[in-house]
Chains A and B, each alone.
Chain A
């Protein structure tokens, strides 16, 4: 036997394993990468300590505006002293526990709905009751709760309201439009194409303008529509057009064999779509769909244009106060964090969904 039993196991040289090995392999493998690493480290050294100092060490956390100006670092007081207005807008101060509670109910329902094994009848009832309760809390008028008109709703609850209803209604409408566009019936097909191309051809802002200014002109004297409702419809119609095109892409990717197998078994159009085609097509287009939904979530900020005080607008209002003028960095960082939390949880969930659904493959 040529192979001698080695008395001692030879280990690779220390420069190739462990931390040094990792650094050598990933950061310093080659001239270009080494230079890049050095430049990046230099950049981080220049930026991170001052940033840290600005944000955490020299910052003011709970002071007045004047005290803030004296501080060298970030003025987080603009948030801590104004968070009630930033988050709730013009909602009456003493009643702000109501939108807060409504948001908690929403977060609770959303969190529970993450798990698809929970998607049974009781959850549907929970949502219906939950939505009803949220509406009740916001509007009031009964059970001893003073009435709060929707014109006073603002801040985060308004953003969430527009986003949640907007996205949940836009998705099925988008799917229907996509099916309509692929329909063999010429009337349905033309209507769908016209809708999609018209809506995609204009920015959301113009739709919001139209809903706020032009649409009321067509209504009979004295008939008014809730402004939030109009904004909501505009957001739904807009997002649906984009979802329609993405879903259409998914439908096109389906092989004919699936349609044919379904037809051979005797499934009609509706059953074929519902049981065979849509489950597969919608799964394929989860990534672009979630992109659209994330965009739509952020687009709710555009309703400032029709004087609805959602989260971004309330923040801007705080900054226009002389006491807090000039601290836009801190204020917008805070708003950005809130938007990030919303968008990131959506994309996180979509990754989770995709992982679950691809276990079948």
Chain B
């Protein structure tokens, strides 16, 4: 991905926080995976999180929609506090969409059915309407002709685009991406990143865990580096890549930018 996408990354970040992490800690048994995370993500802000394996980046975003439970600290999503309260969790999940590394499409349903499932059963939208809306999103990710196929019949890049469309069907306010292109063959990475860039153009709040630094440079408002459960450093893409402050950041960048 070598194009310079001119993305207006200075403006459009409002003051109202979309997601707040306040001194968040998490343990997996004895392993202290998140060690005091403080983070604020504004509306329409786009954050890229990078870092070595085991640094806690996936865990961090999975805490946002309660796929993982934090043990200490507070997480607030769009003003709703994330606690054990089921109602809050459901409200938050309705506003947060997630795209997984391994797509996680439902293999026993057609593409259209995959997309319409959420609106149909959670939002109680009538079937015809749900399917029509699904087709709109499939058009958006340029995959409408595959609507009646099953996930197993699609390539990885196509499946991931369907996964993105599936999350969008629920009209989320935030989109979380957990290494969306890491399981794809190189020639398919571009098609997925292109969809994500279009999403960014439309002003979606996005948090992306990825190793695709080209994407980070062109789209992100901020790039964060995580290591050993802490956010070591975070800055605008220009500053981050050209003037990294910490040794660990410099080491990591030298390893992945080759």
Pick the residue among B100, B105, B152 that contacts A361 (CB under 8 A).
Answer: B152
Interface of A is mostly: helix
Q: Which of A259-284 contact B (CB under 8 A)?
A: 260-268, 271, 275-276, 279-280, 283
Decide if B167 is an interface residue (CB 8 Å cutoff).
Answer: yes
Q: Knowing A271-B122, A275-B121, A279-B108 touch, does A264 contact B96 (C-beta < 8 A)?
A: yes
Q: Knowing A265-B170, A267-B121, A361-B150 touch, does A258 contact B93 (C-beta < 8 A)?
A: no
Q: How far is the CB of A64 from chain B (nearest CB, A)?
A: 60
Contact status B108-A266, CB under 8 Å? no
Size class of the contact patch on chain B: 20 to 34
Decide if B210 is an interface residue (CB 8 Å cutoff).
Answer: no
Q: Knowing A263-B67, A264-B97 touch, does A360 contact B104 (C-beta < 8 A)?
A: no
Pick the residue among A261, A271, A283 that contacts B105 (CB under 8 A).
Answer: A261
Contact status B107-A280, CB under 8 Å? yes
Contact status A280-B121, CB under 8 Å? no
Contact status A264-B152, CB under 8 Å? no
Pick the residue among B102, B122, B150, B163 that contacts A266 (CB under 8 A).
Answer: B122
Contact status B94-A266, CB under 8 Å? yes
Q: Which of B94, B98, B100, B106 has the most CB of A within 10 A?
A: B106
Binding site for B on A (CB under 8 A): 255, 257-258, 260-268, 271, 275-276, 279-280, 283, 357, 360-361
Contact partners of B96 in chain A: CB under 8 A: 264
Q: How far is the CB of A241 from chain B (nearest CB, A)?
A: 27
Interface string of B56-82 (1 = CB under 8 A from A): 000000000111000000000000000
Q: List 9 A-B contacts (CB under 8 A).
A: A260-B104, A261-B163, A264-B98, A265-B167, A266-B122, A267-B117, A267-B122, A280-B107, A360-B108
A261-B100, A357-B108 known, 20 other contacts, Cβ within 8 Å: A258-B106, A261-B98, A261-B104, A261-B163, A262-B106, A263-B65, A263-B66, A264-B93, A265-B93, A265-B166, A265-B167, A266-B90, A266-B122, A271-B121, A275-B117, A276-B106, A280-B107, A280-B108, A283-B108, A360-B108
Q: How far is the CB of A279 from chain B (nearest CB, A)?
A: 5
Contact partners of A258 in chain B: CB under 8 A: 104, 106
